[in-house]
Amino acid sequence: MTSEQVQKFQKNFPSILVNEPMNKHTNIRIGGVAKLYLVAVDIDELIDAMEMATKENIPFYIFGGGSNMLVSDDGYQGLMIQIGFREIKVREKTIIADSGAITSAIARQSVAEDLEGLEWAGSLPGTIGGAIYGNSGCWGGEMKDVVVTVDAIRLSDMKRVVYTNAECKFDYRDSIFKHEPHVILRATLGLKTTADSLAVKARMEEYFTKRKETQPFIESSAGCMFKNFIYKDESELDRLKNSVKEIPLEMLAKKSISAGWLVSQIGMKGERIGDAEISDKHGNFIVNLGNARAQDVLMLTSKAKMKIRDQYNIMLEDEIELVGF
């Protein structure tokens, strides 16, 4: 990017930052500098920034909360845009949320308004746009259960589109947005009214306690590093069955083997490279003990993947988004 291009952006977007360290904006506190960094305060500013980047032939990357991403130590040589519009409106049983709204804030507001259906997300990190993109879920809930429509810009033709739930093609940690580039702008969520809001609130707090008990919560991390291993046929588990004493029944029932459990089976919990450490609490999390580099995280995840592949013939897939590699 030339200095003339940087100046052009500065002129058009006075709040834009140059050489902004991404470790300030990611939950795992890792990442080199983004050449340009803009918090888009509304849809118009977002569109203007994308259009200018396209015209100048500068790559752009759009993110919400920085909860599920690992940015390279070399940073990002383009325009990093954070969604900065975060309005949440509650209309009876419907929530209309800007994509930059914090998912846990939406969940907490919905519970306060005597609604149920999103209480599982009361401690989910990140924004609703990110949660829809990855069909986030925990404690039995998933975004696909509450999304009614999603408003987005399809980047292939820059058209505004509104997708129904079915058109979002949700699957385990998957949606159309992972396969066809879009920017999610807004979502409509459908919840139910509850006659027992105290019970819903208690459920939300129970999930929060569970998260703190079973996952690193205060430490810096990017959430789960790998997707769980979903299998169709038990023959895919032959090597695993021969190697471990027993596979927990709950996983067999769901046909989903916890990646964290697999990491614990290969004895890698607590393993450390630099300041990156596989959490002792949950094997699917890598925590940054202070000055971890993206490189350290990738070395740890590669090692875990290779060991699991070699020992159990299971190839784990990344859940986190890699940026700038």
- Which residues contact ligand EPU by CB under 6 A? 138-139, 214, 223-224, 227-228, 248, 258-261, 264, 282-284, 319
The phi, psi pair for 114, rounded to 5°, reads 65, 35
| 86 versus 227: smaller Cβ distance to ligand EPU | 227
| 20 versus 142: smaller Cβ distance to ligand EPU | 142
Q: Tell me how crowded residue 28 is: count the other CB atoms within 10 A of its CB.
A: 27
| 172 versus 325: smaller Cβ distance to ligand EPU | 172
| 53 versus 146: smaller Cβ distance to ligand EPU | 146
Q: Is 105 exposed, middle or buried (0-12, 13-18, 19+ CB in 10 A)?
A: middle
Q: Report CA-CA distances (Å) from 133 to 5, 19, 114, 115, 136.
A: 31, 27, 27, 23, 8
Residue 253 beta carbon to ligand EPU: minimum distance, rounded to whole angstroms: 12
What span, in angstroms and rounded, lies between the C-alpha atoms of 105 and 125? 10
Residue 261 beta carbon to ligand EPU: minimum distance, rounded to whole angstroms: 4
Residue 290 beta carbon to ligand EPU: minimum distance, rounded to whole angstroms: 22
In this structure, what is the dihedral angle of CA atoms 273, 274, 279, 284, given to the nearest 10 degrees?
Answer: -50
What span, in angstroms and rounded, lies between the C-alpha atoms of 118 and 106? 8
| 52 versus 230: smaller Cβ distance to ligand EPU | 230
* Encoded amino acid at 177, one letter: F
| 42 versus 280: smaller Cβ distance to ligand EPU | 280
Residue 70 beta carbon to ligand EPU: minimum distance, rounded to whole angstroms: 13
Residue 285 beta carbon to ligand EPU: minimum distance, rounded to whole angstroms: 7
What span, in angstroms and rounded, lies between the C-alpha atoms of 198 and 187? 26
Residue 210 beta carbon to ligand EPU: minimum distance, rounded to whole angstroms: 8
Residue nearest to ligand EPU (CB): 260
Token code pair at residue 175: 């949606």
| 69 versus 224: smaller Cβ distance to ligand EPU | 224
> Which stretches of the chain are DSSP H helices?
3-12, 43-55, 103-112, 128-133, 197-214, 238-243, 249-254, 259-265, 294-312
Residue 222 beta carbon to ligand EPU: minimum distance, rounded to whole angstroms: 8
